[in-house]
Chain A
Amino acid sequence: MDIRPVAQSAGRVVDQCLDLLRPLCFFRPFPNRAASKSLSLRETHLTRPLASDFVRPASSVRSMPTIAEALGSTPHVSPLLRRVRQLGLATPAGLLRVAAERGCTHYTPTTTASSAALFASPTHDVLSDEELAIAMISGGQACDPALIRCAVQLLSGDTINATRVITLAHQERCVPLLQHAARAALPLDSDNPLWSRLLAIEARGAPPPVGRLPHPSRFMSIAGRTRSGAAHSPRWLKPRRRTSAITSSSS
């Protein structure tokens, strides 16, 4: 039984309740052990879901700027993020959970066990890898380093459609961010045509301010020295594909 329609309706009700209670900045409908440790609401939300991944955090408690704001611009009302919310993925943890299921295990959120049991993740025909990745780095998305790194890892997969990525990147205003990743990727992932195609796009406006985006080393795995004294070469992070990873609801 597909519980997504029920879950989506429940999520909208919870969403509306939270909007009414927004002035109470530290409202938590479900008590949890983090309450006694004085963690910020955002931190508790990422480590223990308030009401699964379904709940949109109240804007008054959102502590980080959007990606657009971090890069010196303003966020747009994103149709992609709206659709993603309607699929039950209103929070960074939800997006990371789905990405982890699709091979980006490097960024598996701690909510995986609790939320996966409640809500089924959208399949690829409902939300493609390209759309999932761009949703994580849309100009209207929170500037969360984990989301950015995970999106870049997901876009490094060998099934990614570069043309589709570039189209979505223009639509969701994240070309500068992807160009930042592309500059880091080219030396290590040169077989992936996405990076060179991104860098061929003419940049408008100022480049991303230094320090606002993850350092290039954050997109790769860099092991330390071995016992023999040799250092491992950095490895560009790619998603780990399972044989049954790409499924279709029609199959």
Chain B
Amino acid sequence: MIQESSNPLRILRTFDRHLHGPCELIVYGRSALALGFDSAPDSFFATMDVDAILPARDLALIESNDDFWRAQAETNAELDASGLYFTHLFEDRQVILRQDWLEHRVALPSFGLVHLRLFRPATIDLMLTKMMRIDPQDRADIEFLLAQKDYDPAELRIALNTARLPPVPEIAEAFAHHREWLLPHLKA
């Protein structure tokens, strides 16, 4: 059950309050797991920040959107004492995703937000984003996503062979490591 008083919602509500106009945001990472799945455990809601993906097609607009950056700065200033922050924004090419990930994004509930419209990547793409480093927490998150029922294992198998990887050797190595672990878990 989604916790209304959670860290991710607190960050996003603060950001929403500082915005002056409409804004779409695609969250990922632990905040996407916390807000995007009813079965998310309590620990997911303790994440101290919100990660977001910026689609390549929107980058120029986002870069020139002073409202976005001002609201982001004011959000971080207001939340500074709490340790919460909102700075981890990634271009989609810097994250492991399917080529057509944007077409599969999932809308999140409104949470009473006025300006913000939230999305998360599809479950398959969220799994891919968790395969960029060899880390026990990321592995646990992949296991959580594997247990969800809103994806097709056959599509996941295809994604593991066609995902778009950033050109960083360590990321390719981590992805191969996770892929090798993951493939036997998929139903034939």
Q: A76: which of B59, B69, B90, B133 is its contact (CB, 8 Å)?
A: B90
Q: B134: which of A82, A83, A172, A206 is its contact (CB, 8 Å)?
A: A206
B134 touches A205 (CB 8 A): yes
B171 touches A74 (CB 8 A): yes
B132 cross-chain contacts in A, Cβ below 8 A: 73-74
Q: B168: which of A72, A83, A167, A204 is its contact (CB, 8 Å)?
A: A72
Q: Is A200 in the interface zone, CB < 8 Å from B?
A: no
Instruction: Tell me the count of chain A residues lying within 8 A, CB to CB, of chain B.
Output: 21
B133 cross-chain contacts in A, Cβ below 8 A: 72-73, 204-206
Q: Mark A55-71, 1 if CB is under 8 A from B, else 0.
A: 00000000000000100
Interface stretch of the complex, out of B18-26, B72-80, B120-128: B72-80
Q: Is A223 in the interface zone, CB < 8 Å from B?
A: no
Known: A167-B83, A172-B87. A74 touches B134 (CB 8 A): no
B49 cross-chain contacts in A, Cβ below 8 A: 170-171
Tell me the bound Cα distance from A13 to B134 in angstroms.
43
Tell me the bound Cα distance from A171 to B75 in angstroms.
13
Tell me the bound Cα distance from A83 to B94 in angstroms.
21
Tell me the bound Cα distance from A100 to B5 in angstroms.
45
Tell me the bound Cα distance from A173 to B73 in angstroms.
17
Tell me the bound Cα distance from A44 to B175 in angstroms.
38
Known: A204-B135, A205-B133, A206-B134. A73 touches B87 (CB 8 A): no
- Closest approach, in angstroms, between the C-beta of B166 and any C-beta of chain A? 5
Q: Is A187 in the interface zone, CB < 8 Å from B?
A: no
B171 cross-chain contacts in A, Cβ below 8 A: 72-74
A209 touches B94 (CB 8 A): no
Q: Is A75 in the interface zone, CB < 8 Å from B?
A: yes
Q: Is A20 in the interface zone, CB < 8 Å from B?
A: no
A74 touches B87 (CB 8 A): no
- Closest approach, in angstroms, between the C-beta of B142 and any C-beta of chain A? 15
B112 cross-chain contacts in A, Cβ below 8 A: none
The residues of A with any CB-CB pair to B shorter than 8 Å are 69, 72-80, 82-83, 167, 170-173, 204-206, 209
